[in-house]
Amino acid sequence: MFLKRGLYDEAAEEFHKALKSRKHLSSALTNLGHLFLQTGQTAKALNHLKLALESAPQDPVIMRRLGLAHMLDNQPAKAFILFKNSLEITPDDPFTLLELAALYGNRGMETKKQEVMNRFFAVFAESPLNLKRFIDGMRFRSDLERADHRHQQHLLRFLSAACQERSREYAAMAEDCLRLP
C-alpha cells in the first residue's frame, strides 16, 4: 500500500518488519528489491531479488524483476536468461515479452525482436482495448516510479514504434505511448 502511494520509507519499514518474522519471505524480499530498483539502488535490488528467487525459484515475477535489475546494472546476458526462464513459466506475460524485445532491439537483434513483438501483440489480438489498458498502466507506472522512470519511458517509446510499424489500427495507441507523463 505504501509503495503504490510513493511512500518509500514507510514501505521499506513494513517489508523489513515482515522479514524479521520470516527471513526468506519471498514477497517481502521481492518488494524490497522492487523498492530499491525504484530508488536507484541497483546493488541492493540485485541482492534482495536474488534472495527472493532462491526462496521462490519458479516465480516468474521475481525472475522478470531480477532480469530488469541485471539490465539496469548493464548485465544483459543475465537479463536474457531470466526473461527467457520467466517466459517458460508464463509465456504470455506482456511485461516480460516487452522487456525481452527491447533488450533484443538494444542489442541490434532485429529478427529476434520482431519474433518477440509478434508474440506480444498476439497476447492482445482478441482485444486491442486490453493493449490500451496495458499502455495506460505503463504510463501511470512511469509517472510513479523514480529511478525506473527513464526505463519505463524507453519501453513506451519502443512500444510506440512497434505499434506504428504494426498497422493503422495501432496508430492511436502509438500516440498514447508518446504522451509521456
Domain ranges of the chain: 1-89, 91-181
Model pTM above 0.85: no
Q: How far apart are CA 4 and CA 98, in angstroms?
A: 22
Q: Which class for 82: exposed (0-12), middle (13-18), buried (19 or more C-beta within 10 A)?
A: buried
What is the DSSP secondary structure assignment for residue 172, as one 8-state letter?
H
CA distances from 93 to 19, 59, 61, 107, 179 (A): 28, 13, 9, 21, 24
CATH code of 1-89, in short, is: 1.25.40.10
Could you give the 3-state DSSP secondary structure of residue 124? coil
Q: What is the pLDDT of residue 116?
A: 93
Predicted local distance difference test score (pLDDT) of residue 3: 45
C-alpha distances in angstroms, 57 versus 3, 63, 83, 155, 163?
24, 8, 13, 26, 34
Query: In whole angstroms, what is the distance from residue 157 CA to residue 180 CA?
Result: 9
Residue 33's pLDDT is 85
Structure confidence at residue 152 (pLDDT) = 72
Cell of 29: 524480499
Per-residue pLDDT of the chain (181 residues; tens, 9 = 90+): 444 445 456 655 665 555 455 555 777 788 888 888 878 889 999 998 998 998 889 999 999 999 999 988 999 999 999 999 999 999 999 989 999 999 999 899 999 999 999 998 888 887 777 887 888 777 666 554 544 566 777 787 888 888 777 766 676 777 766 665 5
| 8 A C-beta contact, residue 35 and residue 15 | yes
